Chain A
Amino acid sequence: GAVVSQHPSWVICKSGTSVKIECRSLDFQATTMFWYRQFPKQSLMLMATSNEGSKATYEQGVEKDKFLINHASLTLSTLTVTSAHPEDSSFYICSAISPLAGGLGVFGPGTRLTVL
């Protein structure tokens, strides 16, 4: 139990385009999901907290108009990187709070974004 998936697992796009990344909780409902970004050989940095049915809460320094988050259902949150640039290339990881895991966040497998 308590499985989180992400789609796609990797994506390559051209500079200026937008990319949508999906985070799904497969066997539980998650009112709260989190989005992290991880640059190579660095730690995870929290970008935003996604709450079902309401606006996301962004961490300081994260542009909400660039990283659009939608949490329209209890099993799906999406992160859209708008007008992507090479510096947005990173590993994006989501986590979902799971009652099956004692209220802990369960991490997805991550999505590797490369912007050319």
Chain B
Amino acid sequence: GESVGLHLPTLSVQEGDNSIINCAYSNSASDYFIWYKQESGKGPQFIIDIRSNMDKRQGQRVTVLLNKTVKHLSLQIAATQPGDSAVYFCAETHSGGSQGNLIFGKGTKLSVKP
């Protein structure tokens, strides 16, 4: 589905705490998922990806969990830092692993309090 909305959900965390950002995706045929970070006035920045044959993938300070049963994706950020403050989007595609046609989720604004 397309995302529409007049405001973004906001997650506010204390510096040093862990953050969990959730995303519900729409297409059960999607087989590739990506998390992006977007700072104000900039383009999206790749964080981490996961294919549908996996349920968990870890990067540096970030972990993505995929639950295909309920079409749910989450991004966990460990020891959240002020520099993590941004809007986070999940994106899905079903074109076999390439960015054929990305469908973006609504986005969540992460605010980190020092």
Contacts and interface: CB of A to CB of B under 8 A. Distances in A.
Contacts of B4: 42
A111 to B, nearest CB: 10
Given A93-B43, A109-B43, A46 B107 contact: no
B61 to A, nearest CB: 20
Determine the main DSSP class of A at the interface with B.
strand
Interface residues on A, range: 20 to 34
A107 B44 CA distance: 6
A22 to B, nearest CB: 14
A2 B3 CA distance: 28
A97 B99 contact: yes
A49 B101 CA distance: 8
Given A43-B106, A43-B107, A44-B89, A109 B42 contact: yes
Contact of B102 (A41, A103, A105): A105
A89 B99 CA distance: 26
Interface residues of B, number: 27
A8 to B, nearest CB: 13
B79 interface: no
A66 to B, nearest CB: 19
Contacts of A93: 43-44
Contacts of A103: 97-99
B43 A110 contact: yes
A107 to B, nearest CB: 4
Interface of B: 2-8, 34, 36, 41-46, 49, 89, 97-99, 101-107
Interface of A: 4, 6, 34, 41-46, 49, 91, 93, 95, 97, 101, 103-110, 112
11 contacts: A42-B3, A43-B106, A44-B44, A95-B99, A97-B98, A103-B99, A104-B99, A108-B43, A109-B42, A109-B43, A112-B41
